[in-house]
Amino acid sequence: MRLHSLALVVVLTSSMACCDLATEEQVKVLLPAPPVLWQIAFPRLGFRVVTRDAGNGVQETDVGDWRAPVTVTCARNVNSPILAYPLENGITGCAVPAPGHLRPAGGFYPHSIRTFKSGEVLELTWEDGAAAFVMSRVAGLDRDLSLFNVPRLSRFLLAQGDPWGLDLDAVAQKISRGELTAWDIDRLPCRDAKVAPGPGTWFLESPFSLSFEAEDGRIRMTGVSLGGHRLYSLAGTSWQLEVGQVETVMIRCP
């Protein structure tokens, strides 16, 4: 996609100190319904909601039930990113699990705030997940996010298909330098991959992944980006995939 640079970005300052980050906001966050495939494969699915406070520090809140809003603290700053990382095994037990391979949902304060009869909530979506991920990376470099057009960025990422197949690291680096144009939004190198995970219905880690029905225990996936992936089945089993230029290596996950 090729568009003039001013469609996406203005110059980002080099420090968060110049922004209005003196205050924080307690906001109710509404999580999106997980994809149907995820609800079947992960009946204990939880989320880790990640925000940034007034000092640009990372705050984490674990949520066991995505159906009810959760109150979190975030910086009262335009375009403050909020991410919700899926926890495949839930949040109960002695050790709190870290976010796995499933891609996060996302949103922004205050852009994602919606008003309902019950009051205001900040609504996260799968569609904004990649954009929030990118802007969180930029925030981690102490850049001012307030003047960036994040709704347009999100639309551009979605226009390319599954946004998790894009080179999001390159996008974040360009934004941090104030250089991003739509010419810089590129897909990662990819190829078709044939694997034999066994019988059943399978899907990749993106919430936009199609399902694959294994015929004789084999599936063919088109346009898979090179690098690491997780292949899941509805039965709860999974494989780690390393998609290379020529072959795909499969490692059975415990």
CATH number at residue 211: 2.60.40
* Tokens 């002695």 found at: 94
Same-domain check for residues 131 and 12: yes
* Tokens 């609504």 found at: 123
Same-domain check for residues 67 and 37: yes
Q: Does residue 104 have a pLDDT over 50?
A: yes
Domain of 19, in residue numbers: 5-184
Same-domain check for residues 60 and 120: yes
- For 115, counting Cβ atoms within 10 Å of its Cβ (0-12 exposed, 13-18 middle, 19+ buried), the class is exposed
Select from 184, 211, 227 the last residue of a domain.
Answer: 184
Lowest-confidence region among 37-51, 79-93, 106-120: 79-93
Same-domain check for residues 245 and 123: no
Same-domain check for residues 130 and 58: yes
Domain count, the chain: 2
Peptide bond into 197 cis (omega under 30): no
Lowest-confidence region among 2-11, 51-60, 184-193, 234-243: 2-11
